[in-house]
Amino acid sequence: MGIINWNTELLPYEQAVDEIVLKLRNVQREFKRAQVHSPIEQVEGRVKSIASLLAKANSRNIPIDNALDVLEDIAGIRIICRFVEDIPKVVNIIRSRSDYDMKIIQEEDYITNTKSSGYRSYHITIEYKLMFENEVRILKCEIQIRTLAMNFWATIEHSLRYKYDGNLPEDLKIRLQNCAEAAFQLDNEMTTIRGELLQAQKTMRTQEFLVNEIVKNIHNLYAYAKVEHMNDFNKEFMEIYQDGNVEKLSEFNNKLETMAEIYNVRYV
């Protein structure tokens, strides 16, 4: 191989990252649309920088010409979850796509097998099929799945590792291991209040839904059915809304729904 034009070589990886991020964000959106808790809280993607790619190849004695074939995390996706319990659900979502677009070729469970540094995360390597410049390409991509707490720790530790060029002083290593333990405890504590949090999320979503419906019904009754006194309804709505009682909101919306039905503006 001659001189490698890295910027050009990395273009299909950029496309793969963009596509995978989009697809996983759509999965997240589907959960939201169904008004249920999404195991995916956040999705991020990046293509490894040329500097970090060359450094990794160099540290592993990988000839530069082979780097693109050997390194499996040039395309990298990170999925952040709220709870540890969400992680296997995300893994299953990806597994279910194995015959379609994300073929799993490797899994590494650094949550059960925590790294000596304290690092926790679930890694999946996939083969991703994409069309690039009218050709089918199959690229490897590393998906890291972790909780918000695991991500917080890994981000800080990664920056420090970079600062010390990989040679963290012994006392800092120990403090970071303690922080990893604290993050682990935080995840465990969050698990114990998961039920309450999920209930709170559900109430918020119901409230959002009802407010949208009420505003729509009031508008339709006023604009299309020309119902008088809609201002009184608006006032009543604000009072109920400020009260914060979801059941009362629901009753009020039922009343508006019945009116919308009568005036034939239910589906406007």
Active site residues: 142
Pick the piece of the chain touching ligand 0O2 (CB under 6 A) from 9-17, 79-87, 112-120, 202-210: 112-120
Q: Is 226 in the site for ligand 0O2 (CB under 6 A)?
A: no
Is there a contact between 87 and 146 (Cβ–Cβ < 8 Å)?
A: yes
Q: 48 or 82: whose CB is closer to ligand 0O2?
A: 48
Q: 125 or 234: whose CB is closer to ligand 0O2?
A: 125
Is there a contact between 102 and 20 (Cβ–Cβ < 8 Å)?
A: yes
Q: Is 13 in the site for ligand 0O2 (CB under 6 A)?
A: no
Q: Is 114 in the site for ligand 0O2 (CB under 6 A)?
A: no
Q: Is 111 in the site for ligand 0O2 (CB under 6 A)?
A: no
Q: Is 154 in the site for ligand 0O2 (CB under 6 A)?
A: yes
| Tokens, residue 168 | 């963290």
Q: 167 or 242: whose CB is closer to ligand 0O2?
A: 167
Q: For ligand 0O2, how many residues bind (rule: CB under 6 A)?
A: 12
Q: 101 or 108: whose CB is closer to ligand 0O2?
A: 108
- Quote the least distance from Cβ 123 to ligand 0O2, whole Å: 5
Q: Is 175 in the site for ligand 0O2 (CB under 6 A)?
A: no
Binders in 51-70 for ligand 0O2, by CB under 6 A: 52, 56
Binder of ligand 0O2 out of 18, 108, 109, 127 (CB under 6 A): 108
- Quote the least distance from Cβ 100 to ligand 0O2, whole Å: 25
* DSSP assignment string, 204-264: HHHHHHHHHHHHHHHHHHHHTS--TTHHHHHHHHHHHHHHT-HHHHHHHHHHHHHHHHHTT
Pick the piece of the chain touching ligand 0O2 (CB under 6 A) from 33-41, 113-121, 165-173, 238-246: 113-121
- Quote the least distance from Cβ 142 to ligand 0O2, whole Å: 6
Residues forming contacts to ligand 0O2 in the complex (CB under 6 A) are 48, 52, 56, 73, 108, 115, 117, 119, 123, 154, 157-158
